[in-house]
């Protein structure tokens, strides 16, 4: 079962508070036997332990109450959290204490097979993108925290298929499409990007009117994998640079510096490579437009490469983010605040005793989640670094779940799932991580092991076929924006006029 809050108390920090913030006494003490001890790791760029005090971190759990496969999460400036997965847009404006569905069934299509959500961090516009069949998507948006919506269908043309849809937004630049904005007042405040794959590659388009229409753009890369142009999330930087990550065996980033008018590719990570089949990598960018590319390496650890020149060049020597104890990982997601201050989430396993044992196909297991044996357990890990640009960055990793998120294998290729007592495709393709305006981290994930699966010590893969929508967010700890200092639980903050 998930606890209401997971607290890391290895390091206590005393902070003097003055001004308009008042901290109450907080919850009463709880018997240590009632609170599972969290797993915490402090590691260097090789994944090995370093002698550095752990950050004082606590995370709060919230059950969204709906199916949450392939979730997207975003937070508006009002503090409302939006969790978008499957057919529903869920909203919480009380820090995850309660959730409600907020969606217009007329303006937003009520059916979908591949949803995606995005909250514009500049304008607060909320997007809900839904795939309708193989050739059409429906994009709807709200400018009032989900109280009302508008929407339009988008036809991808006659060449199948319109799949793996992604949307994001970012600043206009002085080049390419962005230069046109100097001559017209009709442009929306931010450029809105919409990408999807067809059987022939990745297609990306730019909207000038805030996502209502997408007339500019087209194919940006040819066939990326044997499954077509599968790709990860779109990421944008404060300087307007746009990043898209194709699903290929050598870590690759596709970059645009002119609002999608033109694109170029850069590779990295050949020293650790990537497993195949695999899921998406992701890029985050900080407030100075430094970029961090995160992916799962061939040894199943989570790795990073950095760019300090807006994607032109990348480090070729990879940095390991996950501790060496994590021998299998999947679904890495990331976001960043100020330079060097980043957060990463992923699902991981520490069942090293299962390595080289027979997987579900009778072969020796090498850590690939797609082939994990029946009793392997996967948990949710969240990593912080406050010096990720240093030559020897330090990573503070916490296993925040007390019971598994998944038992057994996690399908990483929809055409080649290994079924044990029902499809192991239950978690689908990705999770999500974003920060709010004050640098507080929010994580959205699908929980595959709920109910008796979570409480029974003898659970197996056959019991782990759920996809419950779930959220963790930072309760207390350092903000990813340095000026915000230490953040405190919402329940302990009272603003005094």
Beta bridge pairs of residue 195: 166, 204
Sign of the Cα pseudo-torsion (164, 169, 171, 174, in order): positive
| SS3 (DSSP) at 40 | strand
Cα–Cα distance between 437 and 439 in angstroms, integer?
6
Cα–Cα distance between 107 and 150 in angstroms, integer?
5
Other beta carbons less than 10 A from residue 495's beta carbon: 7
- Walk across the sheet containing 252-256 and list its strands: 231-236, 242-246, 252-256, 264-267
CA angle 42, 45, 47 (to 5 degrees): 55
Cα–Cα distance between 37 and 331 in angstroms, integer?
24
Cα–Cα distance between 49 and 154 in angstroms, integer?
50
68 touches 469 (CB < 8 A) = yes
The residue behind tokens 């599968």 is 230
**90, 39, 98, 139: which is closest to 396 by C-alpha?**
39
pLDDT at residue 414, as a whole number: 72
The residue behind tokens 């207390």 is 476
pLDDT at residue 182, as a whole number: 62
State the Cα torsion 78-446-111-115 to the nearest 10°.
70
Beta bridge pairs of residue 321: none
pLDDT at residue 27, as a whole number: 37
Name the DSSP class of 181: G
Phi/psi region, residue 224 (left: phi>0; alpha: psi -120 to 50; beta: rest), is alpha
CA angle 137, 139, 142 (to 5 degrees): 165
**291, 283, 279: which is closest to 248 by C-alpha?**
279
Name the DSSP class of 178: H
CA angle 43, 44, 47 (to 5 degrees): 65
Instruction: Please give the span between the terminal C-alpha atoms of the chain, in angstroms, as a whole number.
Output: 39
Give the β-pairing of 302-307 and 291-296: antiparallel
pLDDT at residue 20, as a whole number: 35
Other beta carbons less than 10 A from residue 68's beta carbon: 30
Give the β-pairing of 264-267 and 302-307: unpaired
What lies within 8 Å, CB to CB, of 184 at 6+ separation is none
pLDDT tens for each residue of the chain, 497 residues long: 676 545 443 333 333 333 333 333 333 343 444 545 669 999 999 999 999 999 999 999 999 999 999 999 999 999 999 999 977 899 999 999 999 999 887 778 766 667 899 999 999 999 998 877 666 788 899 999 999 999 888 766 555 566 678 999 999 998 888 787 665 667 999 999 999 887 778 889 999 999 999 889 988 887 656 555 688 999 999 999 999 999 888 899 999 999 999 999 999 999 999 998 678 899 999 999 999 999 999 999 999 999 999 999 999 999 999 999 999 999 999 999 999 999 999 999 999 999 998 887 888 999 999 999 988 999 999 999 999 999 999 999 999 999 999 999 999 877 778 777 778 999 989 999 999 999 999 999 999 999 999 999 889 999 999 999 999 999 999 999 999 999 999 976 654 33
pLDDT at residue 299, as a whole number: 96
Helix (H), strand (E) at residue 67? strand 58-67
Beta bridge pairs of residue 242: 236, 256
pLDDT at residue 481, as a whole number: 98
pLDDT at residue 278, as a whole number: 77
Q: What is the largest CA-CA distance in the chain?
A: 66
């Amino acid at each position: 079962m998930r606890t209401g809050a997971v607290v890391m108390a290895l390091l206590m920090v005393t902070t003097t508070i003055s001004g308009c913030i008042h901290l109450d006494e907080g919850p009463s003490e709880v018997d240590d036997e009632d609170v599972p001890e969290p797993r915490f790791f402090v590691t260097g760029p090789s994944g090995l332990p370093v002698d550095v005090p752990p950050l004082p971190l606590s995370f709060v759990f919230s059950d969204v109450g709906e199916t949450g496969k392939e979730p997207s999460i975003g937070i508006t400036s009002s503090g409302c959290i939006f969790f978008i997965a499957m057919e529903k847009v869920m909203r919480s404006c009380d820090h995850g204490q309660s959730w409600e569905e907020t969606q217009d069934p007329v303006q937003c299509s009520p059916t979908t097979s591949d949803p995606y959500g995005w909250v514009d961090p500049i304008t607060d516009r909320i997007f809900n993108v839904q795939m309708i069949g193989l050739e059409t998507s429906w994009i709807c948006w709200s400018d009032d925290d989900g109280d009302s919506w508008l929407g339009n269908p988008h036809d991808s043309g006659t060449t199948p298929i319109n799949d793996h849809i992604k949307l994001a937004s970012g600043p206009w630049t002085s080049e390419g499409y962005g230069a046109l904005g100097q001559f017209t007042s009709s442009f929306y405040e931010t450029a809105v990007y919409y990408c999807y794959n067809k059987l022939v590659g990745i297609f990306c388009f730019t909207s000038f009117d805030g996502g209502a229409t997408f007339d500019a753009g087209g194919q940006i890369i040819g066939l990326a994998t044997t499954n077509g142009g599968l790709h990860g999330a779109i990421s944008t930087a404060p300087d307007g640079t746009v990043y898209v990550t194709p699903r290929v065996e050598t870590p690759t980033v596709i970059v645009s510096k002119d609002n999608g008018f033109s694109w170029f590719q850069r590779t990295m990570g050949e020293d650790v490579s990537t497993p195949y089949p695999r899921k998406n990598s992701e890029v985050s960018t900080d407030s100075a437009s430094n970029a961090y590319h995160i992916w799962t390496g061939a040894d199943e650890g989570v790795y990073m490469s950095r760019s300090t020149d807006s994607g032109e060049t990348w480090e070729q020597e990879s940095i390991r983010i996950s501790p060496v104890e994590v021998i299998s990982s999947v679904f890495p997601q990331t976001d960043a605040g100020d330079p060097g201050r980043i957060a990463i989430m992923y699902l991981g396993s520490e069942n090293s005793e299962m390595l080289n044992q027979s997987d579900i196909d009778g072969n020796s297991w090498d850590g690939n989640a797609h082939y994990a044996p029946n009793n392997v357990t996967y948990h949710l890990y969240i990593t912080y670094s406050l010096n990720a640009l240093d030559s020897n960055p330090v990573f503070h990793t916490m296993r925040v779940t007390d019971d598994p998120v998944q038992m057994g294998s996690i399908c990483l290729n929809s055409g080649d799932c290994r079924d044990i007592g029902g499809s192991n495709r239950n978690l689908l393709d990705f999770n999500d991580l974003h920060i709010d305006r004050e640098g507080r981290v929010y994580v959205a994930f699908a929980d595959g092991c709920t109910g008796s699966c979570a409480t029974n010590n003898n659970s197996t893969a056959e019991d782990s076929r759920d996809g419950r929508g779930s959220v963790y967010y930072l309760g207390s700890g350092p903000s990813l924006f340095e000026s915000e200092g230490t953040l405190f639980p919402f329940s302990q903050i009272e603003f005094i006029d």
